[in-house]
Amino acid sequence: MNIILGVTGSVAAYKSYDLLRLWAKDGHDVHVILTKGSLRFINPHSYHYLGAKGVWSSEDDFSPAKNQKFFTAPVSHIELSKWCDLLVIAPLGANTMAKISMGRCDDLLTSVYLALPPHKRVLLAPAMNTEMWNKQQTKDHWHKLTHRPNHFIASPERGLLACHDEGEGKLANIETIFHLSLALPQSSAPQKKWKVLITAGATISPLDPIRYLTNPSTGELGYIMAETFLNHGHQVVCVVGPYSKSKFNDLKDHPSFTLKQIFTAEEMFEETKQYFESQDIFISTAAVNDIKFPPSLKKLKKDQIQNQLQVDSNPDILGQLLLKRKKSQIIIGFAAETELTIEVVKEKILRKPVDLLLVNKSQGPWMKTGGEQGFNESTLGFYAFFPHSASPFDKKNLDQTWAKTKNECAKKILEWCQTNAPIASIAPITPTHRD
């Protein structure tokens, strides 16, 4: 992705170093445009060392030699506006906010903004004193900007400001801005918008008010799925366990994203049921606890755990929703197994006949046996099975991985959905049940 990072005159300008570093590490090309005010807080040379493709000052619109280093045409603000896929202004100070709201362009950054083609995306991350942020004039400018097409926001946070005041106006977390930038819809996003429901992370099964049973799932796979579908213009609802990675919160300002955070399998089932009927695609990545304990309002003593501990079954979320599915819905399941054989896969598909099943070999990180752990690993093999194919239980599917990483898996699932949606012509298979 080609990104322009605009840095304005705010004490938070130094944080833009870390934002550039994240984009560069992720393989994106970045030009940095600095306003006159920003130079009071940062050193332009640092951006070069951190991976910027080019660093521009407010007056560089009138530097033909510098422009020719990157572009053949003579007008810098026009060429930069054509080059970029995304313009991010972080931090966005009150002065620059007012200028771009009113259409003023008296420096390179505001000129690039005004010259942007209408389909180009803009991400704005304000940072200023609380009193400045709360002024009616600022609110008026902000309202104009946030209601313009293809404009997105990273809302300022509450906290201790550089001036020692405390309140709203602090620059959003840099990782929030980074993750949000990657999830924004591409300008080439399809007209047909899917509604995608994703479950992610581990649920917990409380034993008593202090202890519970869970697993090491981080929810990273579900997050990557959400980011991938959002980036391609679709609407995403995520129902997420309590200890999943906090990156889900980084998407809170995304206009097409809804987050529901839960604790138990029962809560996940209830939240998922509310959305399921209206969704086009359901992706079940959550590591749901199969068992639960009778609720105890007091801490259980050791002898109670050793001699009297009762165990019950949690709802089978995927299995129950498969019974309620519509013909046009795509349902994708995941399974983590310590022993991965075709017999295990066949039994699982017959009970839960999804349209696509991804399986991988997993074990907890406390196991010292080596090999793939699955949990907390970004690189692990996914094996794909297609129940509606001519040979749904072909052993050859275990000979090589369908996707080697979670990122690759998400991209291939998106591509598979694009090929197979809608699947109304495919009659859902009736689940079988074990005694």
By annotation, the residues acting in catalysis are: 163
Torsion angle (degrees, nearest 10) of CA 204, 215, 316, 295? -30
Structure tokens at 292: 């639960």
Phi and psi at 171, nearest 5°, equal -55, 135
Q: How many Å separate Cα 402 from the centre of its chain?
A: 22
Beta strands in 147-246 (DSSP E): 151-153, 157-160, 166-170, 195-200, 205-206, 212-213, 235-240
Q: Name residue 44's beta-bridge partners.
A: none
Q: How far apart are CA 330 and CA 238, in angstroms?
A: 16
Q: How far apart are CA 108 and CA 354, in angstroms?
A: 53
| Phi-psi group of 237: left, alpha or beta (phi > 0 → left; psi -120 to 50 → alpha; rest → beta) | beta
- SS3 call for 419: helix
Q: How far apart are CA 217 and CA 293, in angstroms?
A: 20
- Amino acid, single-letter form, for residue 429: I
Q: Over the Cα atoms of the chain, what is R_g? A: 25
Q: How many Å separate Cα 69 from the centre of its chain?
A: 35
- Amino acid, single-letter form, for residue 375: F
Structure tokens at 188: 């080439």
- DSSP H/E element including 365: none
Q: How far apart are CA 223 and CA 164, in angstroms?
A: 35
Q: Which residue, among 199, 232, 150, 142, has the nearest Cα to 417 in the 3D structure?
A: 232
